[in-house]
Structure 1
Amino acid sequence: MSSSSNFFERIFRAFRYRDFRLMWIGACVSTIGTFVQQFAQSWLVYDLTRDPFYLGLDLFLGQLPIMMFSLFGGVFADRMDRRKMLLASQYIQMICAFLLAALFATHVIQVWHILALSFFVGLGQSFGGPAYSALLPTLVDSEDLSNAIAMNSIQFNLARIVGPTIGGLAYTTFGATWCFTLNGLSYIAVIISLFMIQVKFIPAKTTEPVLTSMKEGIRFIRCRDGMTALVILAFCTTLFGFSLNSFLPVFVRTIFHKGPETYTLLLVCFGAGSIVGALSVAAVEKMKGQGRLTLIILLSLGVITSAFALSPWLPLSSALMFLAGATTMASASFMLSLAQLITTDAMRGRVMSVYNLAFRAGIPLGSLALGKLIPTFGVSRAIAGAGLALVAVALYFLLMNRETTFRPASQQEA
């Protein structure tokens, strides 16, 4: 009994910190709302257009401001009160959710409204994302950082399960208006938590130009052993391995010939697997050979993605979605943990903005490319090809023996 208790205490030790608990709860509620809206939004875009390109375009426009402005957001996250930056980001996203609900409720919604609001949400996230990435590690001690990152992944993927479930029920029972309204209301939770926490990091006053600060962050990445490789690997991972969920409505409609209930099932399977993957990271975070293990997991993700793309049987596809969720989250958590451990708090906003830019840029670029390839080659071949490309990337890093590239700062020479 005691060993079991010690095991769970080790897995969930980040919850010993009050501010982390508050942020976790607020972020979880808000992320649930985001997935409720995402469910309705993806289904609505495909129903309005019947063109998979618009699914990719919607995701691309949501990520475009992040690609354009997150580097500036990283600089400001190292200069300003990170809590205030996050609050501004939440206000922007909340307004967009309520506006989308109003447009749908008044029956004037058009696809360009959704695309435009996705862009404005991405604009808010381009400054809120670096602030959140920089704020989170300051809520726990350094020895519990990896665990906090894994726990943050768990809240994200718990929301991935609960959100689509609520979204599916709300969409089929009450309509898309309630999905967007629930998302707007969910931002209140994270806003309250931000007012309750105590921010320890106080940025140093500086008159240094923004571009100079940005260059300093990029120089830090280039000089810090392991960071450049992690940035490249993060981009390739999301470019080839994270586009599957964006085109699930196409699989549901054209391969399985089903409706929103099947879409919900696949998203829930993915989310359940993601929680298992994050818990696994929390359990083995001190395991040696973390870089090599990450690459093996990425190789598995590529194989699983290709297998799902070629599967015509829903039960097998559901099982593969569970495995895809586990490998996706385990690899992402391992890479993010290493990136956070490599950097310093004074540089964290800038460094993590570059890492997050690479990580997030791959998603819309991959989705946009696949949105164009799917009409030509079919959804199965296009997604299977993306999975094989991820296998090739993982094999390259493995065969090049890049294990020493992924060492955390504590293992590097000062």
Structure 2
Amino acid sequence: MTTTDHSMPGHATRPAHRDGNVLRWLTAHTASLVGDSVYFVALGWSAQKAAGPAEVGLVMAAGALPRALLMLVGGVVADRFDPRRVILGSDVLRCLLILSVAAGIALTAPALWILVAVALVFGAVDTLFVPAIGALPPRITSPDQLARVTGMRSLSMRLSQIAGPPIGGLAMGLGGAAAAFTVAGLLFALSLPFLWTTRVRPLERSEGEQPESGTARQDLLEGLRYIRRHRLVGPLVVAGVLCELGLISTLNVGMVLLNAERGWGPSGYGWIVSGFGAGAVAGAALLTVAGWLPRAGLALAGTLLVCSAGAVSVALVPSLWMAVVMALVTGSCAGVFGGLNNALVQTATAPAYLGRVTSVVMLAMVGLAPLSYPLVGAAIGAWGSAPVFVGCGAFACLGVAVILTSGAIRSAELPRPPRRGAEERPVPSQEHGARHDSARGEHTPSGAAENAQQGGGAEQQVQDGLGTPLTTRTRTDGTLG
């Protein structure tokens, strides 16, 4: 193994936005995300030219099928193997697949069955890429930088969604589907050297803890049990799933039907979606700049409540400009909620389970949430937009109830980054470390060193593995007493 080439010290000595290792990972991730967007543009237009509008849905649904069926398996793979290598391998496969499709389309018009096959294979490879990329941030930075890295990743995702479709459309206009597929493949290729040079911290295990050696099925079931029994991670995942199920269909399907019902038309839809996107970018930027928010658990409940109420308000306000303002508020709160939820999950989850936990979260987004699309469409057709938006918002608010009834989430705090003067000083690994309860398989971030540097003997709340707040006193030497 070449661990010396790509491993990194136990903990970061600089903030994430100035860490070259994090920036290399972020550059690679951004290139892959833009490549994804260009690929979907090329795939949809190729399907429309090869068959017709009805077949476009068939091709796009074909790509979603393996994501729904295999995402949990991808989480097991990410935890069994080095996630960096899994990401590299899946990106190489995606690059070769898309460039091969580009070459084939340049020679002959694609048949519908070929596009369906491409969508299936690409979706299957994505089930390896997505959990692995979610398991990587805690291995490339320290716990006190996870909120900032999560904000940077969310910002990258939003900007990629904005930049990708125009790039794909420009390539389609200049050189057709072959050019668009080529651009997507080259973007995947561009990410490879940055991923290759990203250093990853080796997986830390407690004394006496043995690597898992069961079957893939046993690993999968153990991951689900881990989520169920963890008093912090479990409710966080449930709250995130309820948010996705309640709001995603409303924003993706309901917004189109709302604009048709109100007579705002495509331009109105564009303004509302742009408002939501701008708000989401602002929320992600806030986390990136701040790097930490106080009372993270309560902030999580507050942002989800405002996000749900804002989504409902879009359907209740009388004018387009008010709907755009509500979409802006909804997007900003959604950006903060998603970033905080992700940071708390990654901070609290034992490194050996990160891939499986990520796969469960992503399954809700790509597998379960789309199942509600036809239900929302049918409900709006029967009762109109306003009552359906209210119902979906109320459903998302169940996530708020989960958060507020969980003592572990209410008292949850993210590790606080050191002050500016202390950011560049190397910190011994035991001060930045994380406790791992091998008996329960739970992982708890420790913010003792950071708070010791900032406040001497200040009172501090540290979560135990089951989410119970333990009041401790931090000595000036960084130990807990």
Query: TM-score, normalised to structure 2's length?
Result: 0.69
1:3 alignment counterpart: none
The letter for the 1-side match of 2:393 is L
State yes or no: 1:166 paired with 2:167.
yes
What secondary structure is seen at the aligned counterpart in 2 of 1:350? Answer: helix
Q: Give yes or no for contact 2:238–2:399 (8 Å, CA) kept in 1.
A: no
Q: 1:67 to 1:109 in 2, by over 3 A?
A: same
The structure 2 residue matched to 1:225, chosen from 210, 222, 231, is: 231
The structure 2 residue matched to 1:20, chosen from 12, 22, 27, is: 22
What's the offset of the Cα at 1:140?
0.6
Q: Give yes or no for contact 2:147–2:292 (8 Å, CA) kept in 1.
A: no
Q: 1:348 to 1:117 in 2, by over 3 A?
A: same
Q: Deviation string for 1:384-406 (max 9, x for gaps)? A: 72563233331563498325242
The correspondence of residues 260-409 of structure 1 with structure 2, limited to 5 A, is 268-283=274-289, 286-308=292-314, 318-370=324-376, 376-377=381-382, 381=385, 385-386=388-389, 388-394=391-397, 397-398=400-401, 401-406=404-409, 407=412, 409=444
What's the offset of the Cα at 1:170?
4.0
The correspondence of residues 96-245 of structure 1 with structure 2, limited to 5 A, is 96-98=97-99, 101=102, 108-109=109-110, 114-171=115-172, 175-201=176-202, 206-243=212-249
1:8 alignment counterpart: none
What's the offset of the Cα at 1:139?
0.6
Unaligned stretches of 5+ in structure 2?
1-13, 205-209, 414-443, 446-461, 466-481
Q: 1:247 to 1:45 in 2, by over 3 A?
A: farther
Take 2:281 and 2:464, find their aligned partners in 1: how far apart are those partners?
35
What secondary structure is seen at the aligned counterpart in 2 of 1:199? Answer: coil
Q: 1:58 to 1:86 in 2, by over 3 A?
A: same
What secondary structure is seen at the aligned counterpart in 2 of 1:207? Answer: coil
- Which stretch shifts more, 97-106 or 74-83? 97-106
What secondary structure is seen at the aligned counterpart in 2 of 1:225? Answer: coil
The structure 1 residue matched to 2:32, chosen from 27, 30, 45, is: 30
Take 2:172 and 2:316, find their aligned partners in 1: how far apart are those partners?
29
- Which stretch shifts more, 352-361 or 332-341? 352-361
Q: 1:399 to 1:163 in 2, by over 3 A?
A: closer
The structure 2 residue matched to 1:412, chosen from 463, 466, 469, is: 463
What's the offset of the Cα at 1:268?
4.9
- Which stretch shifts more, 200-209 or 353-362? 200-209
Q: Give yes or no for contact 1:78–1:346 (8 Å, CA) kept in 2.
A: yes
Q: Give yes or no for contact 1:60–1:365 (8 Å, CA) kept in 2.
A: no
What's the offset of the Cα at 1:126?
1.0
Take 2:271 and 2:118, find their aligned partners in 1: how far apart are those partners?
27
The correspondence of residues 33-44 of structure 1 with structure 2, limited to 5 A, is 33-39=35-41, 41=43
Take 2:254 and 2:100, find their aligned partners in 1: how far apart are those partners?
26
Q: 1:206 to 1:291 in 2, by over 3 A?
A: closer
Take 1:164 and 1:235, find their aligned partners in 2: how far apart are those partners?
27
What's the offset of the Cα at 1:364?
2.4
What's the offset of the Cα at 1:207?
3.3
The correspondence of residues 46-125 of structure 1 with structure 2, limited to 5 A, is 50=53, 55=57, 60-98=61-99, 101=102, 108-109=109-110, 114-125=115-126
State the percentage of identical aligned residues.
Answer: 24
Take 2:287 and 2:124, find their aligned partners in 1: how far apart are those partners?
31
Query: TM-score, normalised to structure 1's length?
Result: 0.79
Take 1:257 and 1:110, find their aligned partners in 2: how far apart are those partners?
34
Take 1:286 and 1:303, find their aligned partners in 2: how far apart are those partners?
25
Take 2:116 and 2:327, find their aligned partners in 1: how far apart are those partners?
27
Q: 1:307 to 1:251 in 2, by over 3 A?
A: same
Q: Deviation string for 1:133-166 (max 9, x for gaps)? A: 1122211112111211111111111212222333
Higher relative contact order (CA 8 A, sep 6+): 1
2:430 alignment counterpart: none
Take 2:161 and 2:80, find their aligned partners in 1: how far apart are those partners?
32
Take 1:303 and 1:44, find their aligned partners in 2: how far apart are those partners?
39
Q: 1:96 to 1:310 in 2, by over 3 A?
A: farther
Q: Give yes or no for contact 2:297–2:403 (8 Å, CA) kept in 1.
A: no
The structure with the largest helix share of the pair is 1
Q: Deviation string for 1:361-408 (max 9, x for gaps)? A: 33322335446656x449x72x97256323333156349832524236
The letter for the 2-side match of 1:92 is L
1:6 alignment counterpart: none
